[in-house]
Amino acid sequence: MNKFWPCFLGCFLGVASSTLGIGWLLQKPEHAPAPTANVHPATLSSRPSVELADFILGVMGEQGSRWAWNWQATSAIYWQNGVELLQNPTAMRRSGHVRINVLGAIATLLMDSEKELGWYVALETDEVDTPPIMPTRIVIQPDECFGEKNTGCDFDPLPSLDRKGISHDLVCSLSPAGAGGYRLYLLHYPGKNDVLMTAEYGDDLGKRAGVLSFDQEGAHGMPCEISEEGLVEQGTAREDVSPSKRYTAIVQQALESVATPEEAKGHSCQVSFIIEDDELEYAYADTLSGFLPLCGKGIEALEAADFSGLNVDTPVFLQATITR
């Protein structure tokens, strides 16, 4: 399924830009290890630690605010430089480091002693042709975290969001049951901008992420939708779920098991997905007209469904509507 990845990545990058205030990181979060000299890079030694959900609230920003290159210029983030112009491909970036903990858990690096490992943070855009050029994406991850010298390189962001009361509706997933993949959530919190959070997973269960990126929803509608043209180019068969198809019973059984929250009654949502090699490789929700909490539950149900034994050799594109 690697052939679908470039389309997925290319579709969600570069969403409408947004400015935020600069005081949010100065408030002491609920889970906040104190400043410490035992941290890498050492420039973070005098900086406070920020719990992941508190950081994400700052990313979301007050409703109607917009990102700018001076976002969080005075904060717990140690910015390394001004704005860089990158080549191949052309892009602009401002990067730095910040201490982030996930409900108290930190990443570590073994040097002369075991040190807390800071997180890389970057403002980015690849939309550099039309001024004013503003950041369209924020990326965070434990900095260069991999191998035997590190711990805490991957994490589950959802319990942190739940504890803070940030809702997260699953919009799409790519190869969640394979060797890692991507899951994209629409985040919502009262008084804040809605943002799209893409979690890049390195494990085979789709639970623990290594990289998070954030985009504002709006300009491109469905950021990870595979186009009709893309399906044709990739040789993927497009079919609708119908009684004559052998996988219909599996799909129907999975979607009928979706728990229905009270607010979902009377709503519907369309889920499109791809099955290949007897696995659900890709699924996305209709964000324009569908009820997203229902769609997210539908995607999770399809991920848990057993498609083994179907002998589907050619990728098959399917659509199903969940109605409550």
- At 208-228, the pLDDT tens digits run 889 999 998 653 444 465 554
DSSP state for residue 192 in the 8-state scheme: B
Is the model more confident about 321 or about 247?
321
Which residue type is seen at 83? V
pLDDT score recorded for residue 138: 95
Percent of residues, the chain, with pLDDT higher than 70: 74
Structure tokens at 150: 């590190």
Average pLDDT, the chain: 78
pLDDT tens per residue across span 139-185:
999 999 988 999 999 999 999 999 999 999 998 888 744 556 888 99
Q: Which of 47-56, 88-97, 286-295, 309-318 has the lowest mean pLDDT?
A: 309-318
Q: Is the pLDDT at 304 greater than 80, yes or no?
A: yes
Is the model more confident about 200 or about 4?
200
Q: What residues contact residue 176 under an 8 Å CB cut-off, 6+ apart?
A: 183, 201, 206, 280, 303
pLDDT score recorded for residue 64: 92
pLDDT score recorded for residue 50: 96
- β-sheet bridge partners, residue 243: none
DSSP state for residue 127 in the 8-state scheme: -
Average pLDDT of span 16-40: 52
Structure tokens at 119: 């997180």
Q: Is the pLDDT at 11 greater than 50, yes or no?
A: no
The pTM for the full model equals 0.81
